Amino acid sequence: MNIGAHVRGGGTLIPSLDAGVAIGATSIQVFVQSPRMWKPSQYAPEVLEGYREAQRDHPSITDTFCHATYLINLATADPELYEKSVTALTHNLRVGRAMGASGVILHVGSHKGAGFDEVLDQIVGAFGRALDDAGATDTRCPIVIENAAGAGGTVGRSFDEIEAMIEASGADERLGLCIDTQHLFASGVDYATPRAARQLLKEVEARFGPDRLRCLHLNDSKTAFGSNRDRHANIGEGEIGAEGLAALVGHPKVRALPLLLEVPGDGDGPRAQDVLAAREVLERGVALYGRGGAKSMKAK
């Protein structure tokens, strides 16, 4: 089992490993710059090397993922915002690679009603520029595209859109996939039973191959099925519920991946009790594949 959590990084980054250990996480996600400011955080080479060595030798934390700043919008019609977004993504990738991260998770952005087809080429161009400028010549730290909940003109609201971005990038192996359970639920995708979860994972493998799915964001939902609203809840306290999550996370193709909590906790992010709740859901999900049975997705 690999239950992870978003934690605070700190100036030397290494405290994020301690923060993960403190709540019982076995993988972590961090911001390497403020999620809501353009100014990049600058890290001395020895800080990044120190983190890379600490992560490599850590006895319990297996993976670190970076989450790119929320300000990035690769689908914008504003040339200045587009360039700032590419620059920010490039910086996040450089830092992620230098610290030995397993990927940089990205919200692609919003086309603001212009239409996905109108912005596809510029998104693909941004991917290529950021990867090349960051020196990403291998797959060790890919751009990990996260599915969106579907509000407004957000990009990545369907597997169709994510597949189109990857195909238009020449199936670049430096692009990965992160599935967010709350976003998937809000987009109206059913995964609450073993049958539904099998069908979903079969589709994911057919579209993206067996190795592109790098991690999951494990979250309950404050909003209803198909709401297209991005509102995370603590595990077992939302509209999905523990049983609604179990079949997906317990699926054999998912259960060993880093499952990263982005839940509110008491208002300051995941706690030890949230990690424990996620472990219990995962155990329940694994058991489902031996005995079957779960509720419909549309009912908690």
Q: What pLDDT score does 112 carry? A: 94
Q: Per residue in 118-158, pLDDT tens?
A: 999 999 999 999 999 999 999 999 999 999 998 889 999 99
pLDDT reading at 293 higher than 50: no
Distance, CA of 64 to CA of 260 (rounded, Å): 10
Smallest CA-to-CA distance from 90 within 141, 44, 156, 52 is with: 141
Q: What pLDDT score does 9 carry? A: 78
Smallest CA-to-CA distance from 109 within 142, 136, 143 is with: 143
Q: Per residue in 194-253, pLDDT tens?
A: 999 999 999 999 999 999 999 999 999 999 999 999 999 999 999 999 999 999 999 999
pLDDT reading at 296 higher than 70: no
The lowest-confidence range among 8-17, 64-73, 167-176, 252-261 is 8-17
**225 located within any domain:** yes
**300 located within any domain:** no
Q: What pLDDT score does 152 carry? A: 87
Q: Per residue in 178-204, pLDDT tens?
A: 999 999 999 999 999 999 999 999 999
Q: Which residues of 225-262 are buried (b: 16+ CB within 10 A; e: fewer)?
A: bebbebbbbbbbbbbbbbbbbbbbbbbebbbebbbbbb
pLDDT > 70 fraction of the chain, expressed in percent and rounded:
97
pLDDT reading at 299 higher than 50: no
**182 located within any domain:** yes
**216 located within any domain:** yes
Q: Which residues pair with 82 in a beta bridge?
A: none
Q: What pLDDT score does 180 carry? A: 98
Q: Which two tokens stand for residue 56?
A: 């490599």
Instruction: Say which CATH number the domain at 80 has.
Output: 3.20.20.150
Q: Per residue in 26-48, pLDDT tens?
A: 999 999 998 888 999 999 999 99
Distance, CA of 135 to CA of 138 (rounded, Å): 9
Distance, CA of 116 to CA of 108 (rounded, Å): 11
Q: Per residue in 69-121, pLDDT tens?
A: 999 999 999 999 999 999 999 999 999 999 999 999 999 999 999 999 999 99
**296 located within any domain:** no
**203 located within any domain:** yes
**Total domain count, the chain:** 1
**191 located within any domain:** yes
User: What domain range is 131 assigned to?
Assistant: 3-291
HEC profile for the chain? CCEEEECCCCCCCHHHHHHHHHCCCCEEEECCCCCCCCCCCCCCHHHHHHHHHHHHCCCCCCEEEEECCCCCCCCCCCHHHHHHHHHHHHHHHHHHHHCCCCCEEECCCECCCCCHHHHHHHHHHHHHHHHHHCCCCCCCCCEEEECCCCCCCECCCCHHHHHHHHHHCCCCCCEEEEEEHHHHHHCCCCCCCHHHHHHHHHHHHHHHCCCCEEEEEECEECCCCCCCCCCEECCCCCCCHHHHHHHHHCCCCCCCCCEEECCCECCCECCHHHHHHHHHHHHHHHHHHHHCCCCCCCCC
**153 located within any domain:** yes
Q: What pLDDT score does 151 carry? A: 86
